[in-house]
Structure 1
Amino acid sequence: MACPSPHCDYSFSQRPLPAGDPRIGMWNNGHNCGRWVQVTIGDFCTGTNDGAPNQPFCRNGSFVTDKYDGATLNMIVADSCADGNAWCRDDPNHLDLAHASLNKFLQNGVPVGDMDPAHWNNRHISWQFIPAPSFSGDINIGFLQSAQVWWGAASISHLPNGIHSVEYFQAGTWHAAQMDGDMGEAFVLLPTVQAGTQFMIRVHDVTDALINNGRVYTFSLPASCQPQCNVPYTRVSYTTS
């Protein structure tokens, strides 16, 4: 059921939210971005289940089992839901599924095919975090639009167990990088020397452990990003030590 007024909050909120704010939810101000989840389909609602603000879920109906219960799909957390509806605002554990995924859920290894639209109706789901399935390789690093030597905003993705923090090396010392807003895979870096173009980082996963035994990644701001990057994402190569 939706939360009772006046506790519901459907207004715009500046993000990231302050530490301890009860509205943060499982997005956790970006700290769960990029993690894998396994989603399991639950019961179907026979009533109105539109996520209207200040209204109960599944009005004038009930949740019932059907042949789609138990279907699963592994997915990646990509962003947070800030829409002004009861799904996003009243349930801190809400998972907003990509629409294209709905008929790809697997039942006995076979896609369900026809759950959406007739058998969807925002039905119950359950989910859990999982390590990246069949993970191989190493991280991807790319500079974001407007990145430059004074504001080295970079994306760090493709991790086996998410990302909680990044450190950059400057002037002989490791420093904690600031997350770029609540974009959990984007951090603002500084180069190894002031106004330089070389960067060194190390990455902590969701357990706060350094990935790959503290591996150090060294890379440079490419010429195409000087004086600044003009495209949304510029992937860079790196060396490790």
Structure 2
Amino acid sequence: MTALIETDKLTRILPETVPVALVRDVTLSIGDNEFVAITGPSGSGKSSLLYLLGLLDRPTSGSLKIAGRDTEPMDERERAATRLSSLGFVFQFHFLLPEFTARQNVEIPMRRLGQLTRSEMQERAADLLASLGLGEHLDKRPDQLSGGQRQRVAVARALANEPALILADEPTGSLDSHSSEQVFKILESVVRERGKTVVAVTHDLDMAERMDRRIQLIDGRISEL
């Protein structure tokens, strides 16, 4: 079976006066339907690795395959198309557009992909939000929602184009404990009930221990737990 993500000695070095290695020789494999935590101390390269996996940054060396496809030869257009169709992103700060309603924010990736009619996009966005407990908040703007509700909208947006892989960067980092637990359970349901793979950077070790497995980074390298 082809792994969903495969890396071989993936490395990213910033070309400063004294070069800074953000990610060093990371080799890993992540399959379908996995719930994976990336942990490590501040500055260990967690987010840098996630950005490489999400095709938001390019590696200095090493390889990355997504669903068996080598990403190295991709130009920027191909990388953007792969992000849009195959990857979903959830960040610590939701990055919802403040002038748009919850439903309109969820429609954005679908509009960019351009495969559904307007009514189909509206229906899908409404269904996703309802499935995350936001059926009564479709037409509210982000400033009318709580922090936990805004993050649930962000999860719905990440799911909009049915990507196989959701990448989350500290998705509960700015939330209180109750909202954090809600978002964790939603991400878990994305794996268990929707059959997706979720890879989440987190500083919350209790949360990491409840996931399928944990990848720990120290100074940009994978470290044995």
- The interval holding the TM-score normalised by the smaller chain is under 0.3
Q: Which has the higher contact order (CA 8 A, sep 6+)?
A: 2
Q: TM-score, normalised by structure 2?
A: 0.22
- Structure number with greater Rg is 1
